[in-house]
Structure 1
Amino acid sequence: MADPIPSAPHRSNTDFFSDPLDSHPLWFKPALFLSPDFDSEAYISDLRTFVPFDTLRSELQSYLASLNHDLIDLINRDYADFVNLSTKLVDVDSAVVRMRAPLLELREKIDQFRGSVQGSLVALTNGLKQRSEAAEAREILELLLDTFHVVSKVEKLIKELPSVPADWSNGDVNLAEKNFISNGTTENGTNLRDTQSMLLERIASEMNRLKFYIAHAQNLPFIENMEKRIQGASLLLDASLGHCFVDGLEHRDANAIYNCLRAYAAVDNTRSAEELFQTTIVAPLIQKVIPHGASWADGKPSGDELENDYQQIKQCIQKDCKFLLEISFEENSGLHVFDFLANSILKEVLSAIQKGKPGAFSPGRPTEFLKNYKSSLEFLAHLEGYFPSRAAVSKFRAEAVYIEFMKQWNLGVYFSLRFQEIAGALDSVLAATSLVPVHNIPSGQGDSPDLTLKQSATLLECLESCWREDVVVLSYSDKFLRLSLQLLSRYSSWLSSGLAARKRGNTGSNPGCEWAISTVPDEFIYIIHDINCLHTRVCGDFLEHVLELLSSCSADILDHVKQSILHGGKALDALVPAIINTIVETLVEKSVEDLRQLKGITATYRMTNKPLPVRHSPYVSGVLRPLKVFLDGERASRYLKEDAKNELVLSAATEITGRYYELAADLVSVARRTETSLQRIRQGAQRRGGANADVLDHNVSDTDKICMQLFLDIQEYGRNLAVLGVDAANIKSYRSLWECVAPADRRSVINF
């Protein structure tokens, strides 16, 4: 037995005057070495920031020595078991050989069993494949046999049909006389047409079955050899079915028609039935209503109007086509695949209009075009009334002929023509170089609800034209709404541009504003009156009419329409203050012409011996004359509302008073400066001459006389303002003027 590994000399866990052997600094954490993501370089670089390299190395060596010591202790503790391990592993190779033999035998058996199973699987797969191929061959053979039997059966049934359509076109006959054999029996008195249609339905059913077989047996020599027989049988079936269907339509035999339609549906040939109905029944009826082609000369067409034609067509449908429609709409009949209204009636109507009355689709005559369009929509709604369900109506609207019919009505061109007509009428009136009064302005007194200018009346007419019954198209209501808003905007732009040009004093590069330069203040009253009327009409009756026309729309859409029209009306009303300002500016300029006579006061009292004035100047009575004449005029009395009149008077009075104050203050300032200069000159002369300087102190100066005259003038001016209903004391510039010229003892209180 080997000796144990000598261990290092053991010391006590603690030495005198030292720390325990297994103690470590706080910064040294051995547990980090066991972490799966431990990185020695990162660990050392982190510690080197605050631990010297020598200290770190010393600590690591100490920890290594401790680990070695622990390892030796572990080995010595289990040393006996470690040495006995070698004795327990004797003859391991022999044991392995003994264990390998049965394993190899087992593997060989498994391989043999796997090969046997694989062989059986291959044999089974081949057998299944052969069985599948045999089944497919049998199916094809059965399919070919069934095809042959069906072809033979169809040919046999076709032979039972009369060889000439005239043999059975007369309705009820004796079958025995015709030698007609059906199912081995002969019945006397049976309706031949019904029996014929039933036989055709049976043949059609067999033909449908034959088509199914052919679709599943394509490109087979047997089928190719039978192709001529199949085509011949199909042609005979189509011809016989067509004759029987036409005969049933002519005699209105409901049973025969029903059977024929089921036959057409069985062979998926609905188009032929629809075309036969169109050419046999519908076309002659429409030809009488809307002549075209060879009968054009005899038809004597009366214009391109369609309303009367549609009424006659409705009567024809009710009288001669309704019986077939009722059959095709019969519940659970399986005839819903037919659409005689679209592919027979509407198709023939469209063709007749295109050939007989092509001008009906022309938007070049908007009024007739819209009338025909609305009549056509009413006609389509009448046709939709025959359908038993909404799904059928939706299918009708999705038909190609319906879409083609609606494409004939070029509503885009129609709206463009209406746009040019309506917008052009307003533009031509707004292009006038002056305001044009209407000819029928009422001569009565008081407020008038009528428009006074042709420009305003034309705007209202254009707005109403957009929504007249003979103009508007509801499907284009968004475009007509936009046109209405554009008309309002055009009128507002016309007014605002003219007012801006008048303020500049020239039209500049904006033609169409000449009217504003030549317009007198009284004529602007017409504009204010018309704007008030337009605002009332647009936001009242006009808005209600539009909302009534669009009542079928959602509440959200109606609210947007209402807000947009109200916005257009408010935009018109917002122009009134600017027009009032224009009137005020014109009146103020006229008043300022009289105010300029203020300068004569200086010449009156400067270097003269005139006494203090005792009455106002003559010019005062003319300052407010333009405003008074304007207010007393017939137009202002009749068309200008009280609130607008008060606003205009106050604005004009404020502006005139401001100008008055500027001129008077400048006059007083100049007079006082001149008085001061003259006084200094006199005092110098008196000192040189030895005269008494106190002689002039008791005399009234020229400036005082001028101020007194101005004071008397503004008192009279204030009284004139009061006559117009304006309190002068409430005007800031008047108070400033009063303080400027009033005597010192009267400046605090304004009274006349």
Structure 2
Amino acid sequence: MADLMSHHRSTTTTDIFGDPLDSKPLWFKPNSFLQPNFNPESYISDLRTFVPFENLRSELQSHLSSLKLELIELINRDYDDFVSLSTKLVDIESSISRMRAPLTDLRDKILLFRDSVEGSLLGLQNGLRKRGEAENVREVLELLLDTFHVVSKVEKLIKELPSVPTDWSNGEVNSTENSSLSNGNSLQHAENETSVRETQSMLLERIASEMNRLKFYIAHAQNFPFIENMEKRIQSASLLLDASLGHCFVNGLEHRDASVIYNCLRAYAAIDNTTGAEEIFRTTILSPLVQQIIPHGSSQTVVGAAVDDLEEDYKQLLQHIDKHCKYLLEISSTANSGLHVFDFLANSILKEVLMAIQRGKPGAFSSGRPTEFLRNYKSSLSFLAVLEGYCPSRSSIMKFRSAAVYMEFMKQWNLGVYFSLRFQEIAGSLDSALTATSLSPAQESQSTQRNPRDLTLKQSIALLESLRSCWREDVLIISSSDKFLRLSLQLFSRYSTWLSSGLDARKSAKSGSSPGSDWAISAVPEDFIYVMHDIDSLITELEGNYLDHVFQQLGSCPSEVQDLIKHSIVQGGKVLNDVVPRIMETMTESLVEKSKEDLRQLKGITATYRMTNKPLPVRHSPYVSGVLRPLKVFLEGDRAKTYLSAECRKHLLQRASEEITGSYYEQAAELVNVARKTESSLQKIRQGAQRRAGANADVLNNNISNSDKICMQLFLDIQEYGCNLAALGVDAASIETYRALWQCVAPPDRQSAINF
């Protein structure tokens, strides 16, 4: 059989060309089948992307055949071992039975041991659970016992309080009996009284500490009948402590005993009753002082704005605060004392001041009188700034500002209503000025004596005054500066819209199209000089003094904000500057329209030379001197010389000259064209008649035609017109329409060069 297989391999390993038949393609790698993580599906999917399925299948079948051949070769090579393998597997079941017996015995022992361990573990867990329950019961019992002991201790300490004569300072009997004693005895009495107050305050602090302990116990032992039965005793002790502590604190405040006050504050902090101490200080110390400064009631109510002024009241309040409250604020801000939980500044001082103003001077918060409102608001901010000076740290300042009373105090100042009133006041004054039906020059009779940079129109003056009003000391509120900046930009826009709507109405010649637009319809070109001058002056003022004043008011703003403000205001000036080209165009159109009235006389040239025997003209027409007269009068007027810059004058002159010349060319070209067509028609009619009559046509050809006379007259006119342009400073030859006009009417021998 081995010989047969070797013969089979020798006959099938090569093809007719001598190449081996078992050569594999590069993409087929049999070693991939031997890898531990070989996956047939992923292997086939990867190969199918670039190998056809038929090729892959044939290659795998070929590989399978080669593997079978190798298996046969291995069996043939080790045939003896292969045959003896079956004989060695005899009686395998008995061997397995012998090995199973000890394993089964071992498993049974392990199961018994696990049951034993589980039973022991269950017993331990039950014991631990009972032990935990006992511990809990013990802790509850100890907690109840501690609670009982603390309650008893508090009651015992409270019973000792009446034995301390805390009201010696208020006892009239003692003062009467001791009136005959010497000064030494009085001094000794005062020292004893101080010692008694301090002793009582120390005792109250101790009681408060125990009460704090008691609250802790009660919080952890709620819903127990024992605690519920003691609730009345606890409440009674708490009420007695509050009453005694309040009396001792008042006594310490009246005598300014720092030790007593310190002990009482620590007691209040211990029982978490800071509100009680703040209210006692407000009602006993502050309320009488504030009542003297800001009285309230029907007898003190007086109607009038002056009564609602708070500036003087704040000055007196600050004096009393510094004299009567500073010591308590210093005690409560002592470092490492634990008294930072008190906020006498907000909950006592500011609260009492707010209540006094609300009851005694409610009109101080009224924004219906903007001037008085702003004065009181700024005085209040200064008052709060002084109060913040008593705060020892930045965190305490933030705590003061976040207090509910502080926020309530700031809510009283309705800045939104105040700004609305100022908005109506400032914007209304400008709107009133802009609704006028005509431009209103300011002191027009004295305009020649005014500063050239001064504004000339009342509308422009109203705009500048409104802009300045937004940033006046008695108008601006720093916290609303963004609104006033927006109002300033709205004023720019309103003035710009007023100019644009007027120019639109003038161009469309529609009166009353929008409120305040009639001024431009009735305005003469000289009036627009004022408008251009005022725009230039406004832009200069905005980018100079006005912007400096705004930065002076907002000096505390960061540079980034100032840059944005500057950009906004400059942009507002740019909006005004964008209207200047339209104003120049309007003035130019008005001047051109006036010049066109004289150009209409061109039509008379045709009537002068048609069907007449007049000779060739030798001088220009009279109308020529009037064509540029409106432009000349405008430029040589006092307003143009005073308020128009040289650049604007030059631009307007050039633009108006080009448009007038363009209109001149259109009318002259039309006139020449009609004349030549008419002349040609008449010539044909005459020639036909003469041929029929047998006349000599050569005689007529020697005569000068009417169209030549008209062209000569126009040529003389444009020469004079060019001289007039030169007198104004305009080179006529540089105007394209003038060159076209010259080519249209000039004789053939004069068309090569323009000279006059």
TM-score normalised by the chain length of structure 1: 0.90
Q: What SS does the aligned partner of 2:692 have?
A: helix
Paired residues of 2:212 and 2:270 also in contact (CA < 8 A): yes
Q: What SS does the aligned partner of 1:160 have?
A: helix
Q: CA deviation at 1:140?
A: 2.0
Residue 230 of structure 1, aligned match among 225, 234, 243:
234
Name the counterpart of 1:527: 531
Alignment RMSD: 3.3
- Structure-to-structure mapping, 1:248-263, within 5 angstroms: 248-263=252-267
Q: Structure 2 unaligned segments of length 5 or more: list them.
A: 34-38, 178-190
Q: Counterpart of 1:83 in structure 2: which amino acid?
A: V
- Structure-to-structure mapping, 1:71-110, within 5 angstroms: 71-110=71-110
Paired residues of 1:668 and 1:703 also in contact (CA < 8 A): yes
Deviations 1:619-668 (A, max 9, x none): 11111122222223332233222222222222111111111111111112
Q: CA deviation at 1:298?
A: 9.9
Determine the C-alpha separation between the residues in 2 that align with 1:748 and 1:197: 120
Change (3 A) 1:168 1:20: farther
Q: What SS does the aligned partner of 1:345 have?
A: helix
Determine the C-alpha separation between the residues in 2 that align with 1:302 and 1:67: 116
Change (3 A) 1:119 1:342: same
Change (3 A) 1:164 1:298: farther
Name the counterpart of 2:187: none
Identity %: 67
Does 1:14 pair with 2:11?
yes
Name the counterpart of 2:323: 319
Name the counterpart of 1:128: 128
Q: What SS does the aligned partner of 2:372 have?
A: helix
Paired residues of 2:164 and 2:196 also in contact (CA < 8 A): no
Change (3 A) 1:613 1:163: farther
Name the counterpart of 1:673: 677
Change (3 A) 1:300 1:168: farther
Change (3 A) 1:84 1:535: same
Change (3 A) 1:94 1:11: closer
Residue 23 of structure 1, aligned match among 15, 21, 24:
21
Determine the C-alpha separation between the residues in 2 that align with 1:444 and 1:393: 60
Q: What SS does the aligned partner of 1:740 have?
A: helix
Determine the C-alpha separation between the residues in 2 that align with 1:390 and 1:553: 20
Q: CA deviation at 1:202?
A: 1.2
- Structure-to-structure mapping, 1:561-572, within 5 angstroms: 561-572=565-576
- Structure-to-structure mapping, 1:253-402, within 5 angstroms: 253-293=257-297, 296=300, 302-402=306-406
Q: CA deviation at 1:447?
A: 5.5
Q: CA deviation at 1:163?
A: 6.0
| Range 162-171 or range 628-637, more displaced | 162-171
Residue 606 of structure 2, aligned match among 602, 615, 620:
602
Q: CA deviation at 1:299?
A: 12
Q: CA deviation at 1:164?
A: 8.5
Residue 435 of structure 2, aligned match among 431, 434, 451:
431
Q: Counterpart of 2:141 in structure 1: which amino acid?
A: L
Name the counterpart of 2:144: 144
Q: Counterpart of 2:293 in structure 1: which amino acid?
A: V
Q: CA deviation at 1:722?
A: 2.1
Residue 487 of structure 2, aligned match among 483, 488, 510:
483
Paired residues of 2:168 and 2:193 also in contact (CA < 8 A): no
Determine the C-alpha separation between the residues in 2 that align with 1:352 and 1:428: 42
Name the counterpart of 1:199: 203
Does 1:554 pair with 2:555?
no
Does 1:167 pair with 2:167?
yes
Name the counterpart of 1:582: 586
Q: What SS does the aligned partner of 2:557 have?
A: coil
Q: Counterpart of 1:23 in structure 2: which amino acid?
A: L
Q: CA deviation at 1:6?
A: 11
Q: CA deviation at 1:93?
A: 3.4
Q: CA deviation at 1:344?
A: 0.3
Determine the C-alpha separation between the residues in 2 that align with 1:261 and 1:654: 92
Determine the C-alpha separation between the residues in 2 that align with 1:234 and 1:64: 98
Q: Structure 1 unaligned segments of length 5 or more: list them.
A: 178-186
Does 1:515 pair with 2:519?
yes
Paired residues of 1:446 and 1:638 also in contact (CA < 8 A): no
Q: CA deviation at 1:305?
A: 1.4
Q: What SS does the aligned partner of 2:563 have?
A: helix
Paired residues of 2:512 and 2:518 also in contact (CA < 8 A): no
Change (3 A) 1:50 1:94: closer
Q: CA deviation at 1:264?
A: 0.6
Change (3 A) 1:707 1:394: same
Q: Counterpart of 2:355 in structure 1: which amino acid?
A: S
Q: What SS does the aligned partner of 1:330 have?
A: coil
Paired residues of 1:466 and 1:484 also in contact (CA < 8 A): yes
Paired residues of 1:587 and 1:652 also in contact (CA < 8 A): yes
Residue 618 of structure 1, aligned match among 614, 618, 622:
622
Paired residues of 1:291 and 1:299 also in contact (CA < 8 A): no
Name the counterpart of 1:182: none
Change (3 A) 1:496 1:297: closer
Paired residues of 1:531 and 1:573 also in contact (CA < 8 A): yes
Change (3 A) 1:283 1:48: closer
Identify, as 1 or 2, the structure richer in helix: 2
Q: Counterpart of 1:14 in structure 2: which amino acid?
A: T
Determine the C-alpha separation between the residues in 2 that align with 1:100 and 1:420: 107
Determine the C-alpha separation between the residues in 2 that align with 1:233 and 1:573: 82
Does 1:662 pair with 2:666?
yes
Q: Counterpart of 2:370 in structure 1: which amino acid?
A: P
Deviations 1:28-70 (A, max 9, x none): 9986796823779x99x9869799xxxx99x999988766555
Determine the C-alpha separation between the residues in 1 that align with 2:390 and 2:6: 118
Q: CA deviation at 1:190?
A: 6.0
Name the counterpart of 1:454: 458
| Range 611-620 or range 59-68, more displaced | 59-68
Change (3 A) 1:22 1:706: closer
Deviations 1:169-214 (A, max 9, x none): 459x99xx9xxxxxxxxx9686211111111111111111111111
Determine the C-alpha separation between the residues in 1 that align with 2:632 and 2:646: 15
Determine the C-alpha separation between the residues in 2 that align with 1:447 and 1:740: 50
Paired residues of 2:164 and 2:200 also in contact (CA < 8 A): no
| Range 387-396 or range 132-141, more displaced | 132-141
Determine the C-alpha separation between the residues in 2 that align with 1:216 and 1:441: 94
Q: CA deviation at 1:297?
A: 5.4
Paired residues of 1:7 and 1:69 also in contact (CA < 8 A): no
Name the counterpart of 2:726: 722
Q: Counterpart of 1:126 in structure 2: which amino acid?
A: N
Q: CA deviation at 1:732?
A: 1.5
Residue 467 of structure 2, aligned match among 438, 463, 470:
463
Determine the C-alpha separation between the residues in 2 that align with 1:572 and 1:411: 31
Name the counterpart of 2:645: 641
Change (3 A) 1:165 1:655: farther
Does 1:246 pair with 2:250?
yes
Q: Counterpart of 1:13 in structure 2: which amino acid?
A: S
Q: CA deviation at 1:243?
A: 0.5
Q: CA deviation at 1:673?
A: 2.0
Paired residues of 1:441 and 1:450 also in contact (CA < 8 A): no
Change (3 A) 1:302 1:556: closer
Q: CA deviation at 1:388?
A: 0.8
Residue 712 of structure 2, aligned match among 708, 711, 734:
708
Determine the C-alpha separation between the residues in 2 that align with 1:244 and 1:436: 77
| Range 114-123 or range 343-352, more displaced | 114-123
Determine the C-alpha separation between the residues in 2 that align with 1:339 and 1:559: 40
Change (3 A) 1:221 1:677: same
Deviations 1:690-732 (A, max 9, x none): 4333324443332222222212211221222222222222211
Determine the C-alpha separation between the residues in 2 that align with 1:257 and 1:188: 17
Determine the C-alpha separation between the residues in 1 that align with 2:69 and 2:647: 114
Q: CA deviation at 1:14?
A: 2.8
Deviations 1:312-332 (A, max 9, x none): 111111111111111111122
